[in-house]
Amino acid sequence: MALMETHYYSFSMRSNITLNVFIPTPGSSEQIVEINHSEKYDYESGLPVVYLLHGAYGDAFSWIRYSNIDRYAQERGVAVVMASAGNSFYQDLKSGNRYKTFFTEELPAFIQNVFPVTKDREKTFIAGFSMGGYGAWFLGLSRPDLYSRAASLSGALDIASLYRTAEGGVIDNNPFNWEDSFGDPKLLEGSEYDLFSLYDRDIAAGQVPKLYQAVGYSDFLYKSNIHVKEQMERREADLVFEEGEGGHDWIFWDTYIQHILDWMLN
């Protein structure tokens, strides 16, 4: 397997940034005796690729530090791309850094032209946990032409409700600058940042990614995720929903990212 830490200048960020890119080797084990014996991919057509997003306080190293994503991706022959987004909710910030533009325009163009990954929408995926769960659905629904599947783990998916909860003081140590990410956060419901509105727009336009959602019974976002599931079911969305034992933690995310990879590659 090859895990590459890449540094380059980002015009969207107006600074040098760090990426972590995992590229699987042809075989599934560390000991490859016959290098061409068990090839899992073709460089000409390109590897399927997952853009993997972090949560609040995280960065491009979160998945590497706390999960076994390298092993899971190696076993399945899929490339994984990880980049930092601060606590931005993956938005173009009013203060300058354009994370949405970076993740949907600059980053895919860079990855597709430097690494042996596909340019095929059907094999291009996005996933994340917590803030990154919202980010995965937000970016996926914002650019349904780019991603065929978007997956959320313990996602902060109902952004308008989350803001009301944060303003009520229920969330301790709230790390978000809501105005910088969303403008007037009191207007989130029904806006371009509202996942329900984005989904309805995509349906009307005739292209929408398939969606996946998982949450643990002990997660503080469990009830919120159930509400989102019900809203999407009313819309007859192409949604896979899973719930199980666990909380808002890496034990749950490390388990269910395997479910996500299998779903994406099915």
pLDDT digits (tens, 9 = 90+) for 139-175: 999 999 999 999 999 999 999 999 998 886 555 567 8
| C-beta atoms surrounding 89 within 10 Å | 25
Q: How confident is the model at residue 29 (pLDDT cuts 50, 70, 90)?
A: low
Q: What is the mean pLDDT of the chain?
A: 93
Question: Which tokens belong to 109?
Answer: 């163009």
- What is the per-residue pLDDT for 42? 65
Judged by average pLDDT, the poorest of 26-35, 96-105, 213-222 is 26-35
Do residues 48 and 81 touch, judged by C-beta distance below 8 A? no
Mean pLDDT value across residues 173-180: 85
Helix 195-205 to helix 222-234 angle, to the nearest 10 degrees?
Answer: 20
Q: What is the pLDDT of residues 33-49, one digit of tens each?
A: 555 455 655 667 899 99
Measured in degrees and rounded to the nearest 5, phi and psi for residue 192 equal -70, -10
The 3-state DSSP class for residue 14 equals: coil
Q: How confident is the model at residue 58 (pLDDT cuts 50, 70, 90)?
A: very high
CATH numbers and ranges of domains, the chain: 2-265 (3.40.50.1820)
Do residues 140 and 150 touch, judged by C-beta distance below 8 A? yes
